[in-house]
Amino acid sequence: MGDGPASLNENNGWKSWDVTNIVSNWVFGEIANYGITLQGDGDTIGQRVFYSRQGNPSLAPRLRIRFTVPLCRGGKTIYATEDTWTDSANPGDIHGSDRTLRLGRSGGEFRRALLRFPIELYIPANTLIYSARLEMDVVNVSGAPAPWRTSLFNLKDVFIEPVTNWSN
């Protein structure tokens, strides 16, 4: 399950994706919160490099959630507690301690990012989510010019940052 694909431009800086569908389903218990994976469209050659939580913490991937609870509207920014990236060209390599996350395609090789946000610690179950945005800061761009399409999906299983690679 995921939200619709989104396009990225060729500029560095903050990028944002609508993940309201995924976050709402987490909060209502429709799907388990194992995290989000980002991947390129598979057709476009190029790479986008984002800050990870191990890089500059103020530039780490984050969710900005707007919600309604009885008699109150609220908002919360939640930073990733786990993030990594995987590389089909080097399927056994582990990138959990890298300062950046890589996403894209080079020839027949693919890179995707994995993120985990512990929303259950901050947002009560069954809270009405009216907006959720994933925000990530691009620090390097290579390859195809805009538009560069990405898709986001709910992960179907737990990933463990210090041991996750393409093969597992």
Q: What is the pLDDT of residues 73-82, one digit of tens each?
A: 789 999 999 9
Q: What is the pLDDT of residue 5?
A: 62
- Secondary structure of 30-95 in HEC code, one letter for each residue: CCCCCCEEEEECCCCCEEEEEECCCCCHHHCCEEEEEEEECCEEEEEEEECCEEEEEECCCCCCCC
The DSSP bridge pattern shows strands 2-8 and 128-143 to be unpaired
Largest Cα–Cα distance in the chain?
53
- Alpha-carbon distances, residue 160 vs 97, 104, 106, 164 (angstroms): 12, 21, 26, 6
Q: What is the pLDDT of residues 105-149, one digit of tens each?
A: 877 889 999 999 999 999 989 999 999 999 999 998 887 666 677
Contact present, 159 and 34 (Cβ < 8 Å) = yes
CA 53 to chain centre: 12
The one-letter amino acid at 90 = N
Instruction: Please tell me the pTM assigned to this model.
Output: 0.89
